[in-house]
Homo-oligomer: A and B are copies of this chain.
Amino acid sequence: MEEKRIIQVKRDILSANDSKADAFRRTLRERETFFMDIMASPGAGKATLLLALIRQLRALGQSDLAVIEADLESDVDALKIKEADVTSIELNTRGVCHVEMGMVEAAFEPLESMNLDWLFLENIGNLVCPAEFDTGAHCRVMLLSVPEGYDKVYKYPPMFSLADALIVTKSDYLPLNPDFKMDALREQAAVLNPDINIFVTSARTGEGIEDLAQWLMAKRFEALS
């Protein structure tokens, strides 16, 4: 009984969220703002990768960008992004384990007056729940850091299923992780999600960041044209 009740409430909420997400996606498309959602476990390197990516995009002439920084309670990452001189909005979920559309819309309000080419969302550090909630993004990527291990596809399938790209981070740790089977990861991810794009990156050495930025430039062009 209890369970049936919560399943119904959850269904209502998810369906309302999906409609709002579609509307938000359309609005941003009209504004020519490309919106990307970045999801991963805690500590996979979302903020660090984002900063490296933004540097690369700036080098490619992209300067009108902003970040929505989601966190359960703190402003640790929002400050990190601000320090890099990037417009950053703190989205505090007050303990909620994922970001949903009401939060995205509220976070976007102070950005409405800006002409943004790029909008990034650093989602809550959680490889499970964010997969259920469409955030209105044109592109959703997930990070998996080398120290986490390669065997995550079958353990967290919803996230791998929906991601447009799997970005393997901290590749500079590979020499320390001879057990990290990159080929197995690629294979398992492709079985679950044949359209997934895989990038191997390191914000420390710069590996893969340029390829990722180029792919995103193409993705943006595709989404907005």
User: Which residues of A are interface residues toward B (Cβ below 8 A)?
Assistant: 2, 5-6, 9-10, 12-13, 16, 41-44, 71-74, 76-77, 95, 97, 124-129, 144-145, 147-149, 151-152, 154-158, 170, 173, 176
Contacts and interface: CB of A to CB of B under 8 A. Distances in A.
B6 A157 contact: no
A155 B71 contact: yes
Contacts of A176: 173, 176
Given A41-B41, A97-B97, A97-B128, 8 more contacts: A5-B9, A6-B10, A41-B148, A71-B155, A76-B155, A77-B155, A124-B128, A125-B128
A42 B156 contact: yes
8 contacts: A2-B9, A41-B41, A72-B128, A73-B157, A74-B154, A125-B156, A126-B126, A173-B173
